[in-house]
Amino acid sequence: MRVMVIVKANENSEAGVMPPAELFEAMGKYNEELVKAGIMLAGDGLQPSSKGVRVHFSGNSRTVTDGPFAETKELVAGFWLWQVRSMEEAIEWVRRCPNPHVGESDVEIRPIFSAEDFAALLPADIASKVTAQDSNLREKLAAKA
């Protein structure tokens, strides 16, 4: 199963304050462990929301709002994409993670839908189209890598 591991933002990450060098070193070692174990598919830190935008959808209308965004506890500071056998395995890996911020931190783990998950919820004719489209897109992405 694939999961997204989300490092929640805090006041320091939103202010653009870089963590201490020791944390960069510890996180680098942790990421090496993830890669060696075949868990990590991708991962990066995100710049503060002040450098981002939000696009709000309402029917056919789109509204763009520049950051920063007020609710720091709802923002994302970084992420990993992992391939794990189970949610329990993902939890065990997160428990081994260095604290991503100085002080308190929250890390959220969310399963990623697969084409098969959607296919199980859709009528058979639509499910086969969704699965074929997903396979086609993944082949194209792999060819570009």
Tens digits of residue pLDDT in 42-89: 999 999 999 999 999 999 999 999 999 887 778 999 999 999 999 999
Q: Which of 35-39, 67-71, 140-144 has the highest mean pLDDT?
A: 35-39
80-116: per-residue pLDDT in tens? Answer: 999 999 999 999 999 999 999 998 999 999 999 987 7
- Going by pLDDT thresholds of 50, 70 and 90, the confidence category of residue 137 is confident
Lowest-confidence range among 26-40, 55-69, 125-139? Answer: 125-139
Give every CB contact of residue 91 below 8 A, 6+ residues apart in sequence. 109
* Model confidence, pTM: 0.86
Q: Are 33 and 44 in contact (CB under 8 A)?
A: no
Give me the residue spans of the domains in the chain: 2-112, 114-145
| pLDDT for residue 129 | 83
For range 115-137, the mean pLDDT: 82
Q: Are 12 and 20 in contact (CB under 8 A)?
A: no
Rounded to whole angstroms, the Cα distance separating 88 from 79 reads: 18
Q: Identify the architecture of domain 2-112 in CATH.
A: 2-Layer Sandwich (3.30)
